[in-house]
Amino acid sequence: MTKPAKNSAYEIVYNTGKKIETEQFLFACRGSFSSAITDNILFLTEGNLLELDTPKVAKKVYYLMVEGLQNITRHQYHDQGGSPFDGALFIINRREQAYSITYGNWVSKDVKEQLEENLSTIVSKDDSELKEYYLEILNNSGFSTKGGAGLGLIDMARKSSGKINFEFAPVLGGYFYYLNLNIAIDKDDYDPAVSADYIHDAMRLHKEMLVCDSQIIFKGLLHESNVNHLSNQIDSTLNDNPETKGMSAVMTELLRNVAKHAYSRLNHLGKPGVFLLQKVEDGYAMFSGNFIKNGKQELVQRSLESINMLDTGQMNDIIDRLHTSGLNEGTGLIRLRKISGHDIGFEIVESDDEPPYFILKIELT
């Protein structure tokens, strides 16, 4: 099959997934953040951190995440009119040289001017000056509780690798504020000039998420433990909408399919895969993406086309027959099609230098 259509959720899944051997972990989430959501983000990320890197690196990344997520919950923007910028933005991406962490939320012009002044002050200082500044603020208690250069922000700047980066994008009569921090995976192989552009990559990803109204993107190693945490995260994201109750059962089945069947060239316990949650007009669409072995394309395509031709009675007969025989393997996609009520969408993207990339779409409306 051909390359996914431009600016679609398929394209985001493909472009995200094909870089998994150099950028092995990504979690992006936009919307309103509650304590339940931030807890699940931390649980989900912690497992991948410890699988990919040393405890020392994981501890530094985890600290910055906690500080940043606490800041998000305090300062996120709430708009009852349904603005796409309602809530906030969180992105963590394991790049080749560093973990890049980006936070974002809408701010007014007045807050933007205050933030810009305070952040410029922080960026202008070297490590020793930052330490002195931290102690000065601590002793004088002279920091703002709403968008200013608080102790938490200064401490985050001290613990990050290189300078923090920030941008303000004009939107909705104010600005969307992006703050980016990095933690070097190996400080001897870290170039601050390279990581200085990570914030622009995060801004581009945010724009792509807005274009197709995707709520969550996950890329990483999938196995039983983090499949459950990711399902909990999605449940937390959607828990205010009674129409989405129980969606995690469908999502868990989709993710377990990746964890079982994805092709991996990585020497890790989990299987590399991508998950994307998209808001559509009358509900949600869920996408998974993973490599498959070369030569499996035709078999995968035939199997899905056959499942899409089944009516409800035929699906029930197959599920019941396999269950009676004690053979539940192979019924996952049939159950997903039955629950969804829509044909399973899919694309297989082929290239000369990579294994085939398989993208699956399940829609619930």
Whole-number pLDDT of residue 145: 44
- For the segment 251-261, the average pLDDT, to the nearest whole number, is 82
pTM: 0.89
The DSSP annotation for 159-224 comes to HSSS--EEEEEEETTEEEEEEEEEEESSGGG--HHHHTTHHHHHHHHHHHHHHHTEEEEEEEEE-H
Question: Which residue's structure tokens are 């509900």?
Answer: 283
Would you say residue 326 lies in a domain? no
Whole-number pLDDT of residue 3: 60
Q: Is the pLDDT of residue 144 over 80?
A: no
Whole-number pLDDT of residue 4: 64
Distances (CA, A) of 231 to 203, 328, 344: 26, 21, 20
Would you say residue 202 lies in a domain? yes
Average model confidence (pLDDT) across the chain: 84
Would you say residue 241 lies in a domain? yes
Would you say residue 316 lies in a domain? no
Confidence of residue 147 (pLDDT cuts 50, 70, 90): very low
Which region among 70-79, 196-205, 279-288, 315-324 has the lowest average model confidence (pLDDT)?
Answer: 70-79
Domain housing 226 = 9-293+352-364
Whole-number pLDDT of residue 253: 81
Would you say residue 35 lies in a domain? yes
- For the segment 331-338, the average pLDDT, to the nearest whole number, is 86
Whole-number pLDDT of residue 17: 92
- For the segment 316-337, the average pLDDT, to the nearest whole number, is 80
Would you say residue 330 lies in a domain? no
Whole-angstrom distance, CA of residue 31 vs CA of residue 36: 13
Confidence of residue 146 (pLDDT cuts 50, 70, 90): very low
Q: Is the pLDDT of residue 357 over 80?
A: yes
Would you say residue 335 lies in a domain? no
Q: Is the pLDDT of residue 103 over 80?
A: yes
pLDDT digits (tens, 9 = 90+) for 258-296: 888 888 877 667 788 999 999 888 888 999 999 999 999
Structural domain total, the chain: 1
pLDDT digits (tens, 9 = 90+) for 198-245: 999 999 999 999 999 998 898 988 876 667 766 766 666 665 555 555
The proportion of the chain whose per-residue pLDDT surpasses 70, expressed as a percent, equals: 87
- For the segment 34-41, the average pLDDT, to the nearest whole number, is 76
- For the segment 54-82, the average pLDDT, to the nearest whole number, is 84
Would you say residue 317 lies in a domain? no
Which region among 192-196, 229-233, 302-306 has the lowest average model confidence (pLDDT)?
Answer: 229-233
Q: Is the pLDDT of residue 332 over 70?
A: yes
pLDDT digits (tens, 9 = 90+) for 118-137: 899 999 999 999 989 888 88
Helices (H), the chain: 9-17, 35-52, 55-75, 109-123, 127-140, 151-159, 192-195, 198-212, 224-238, 247-261, 297-308, 312-324, 332-340
Number of other residues whose CB lies within 10 A of the CB of residue 192: 14
The proportion of the chain whose per-residue pLDDT surpasses 90, expressed as a percent, equals: 38
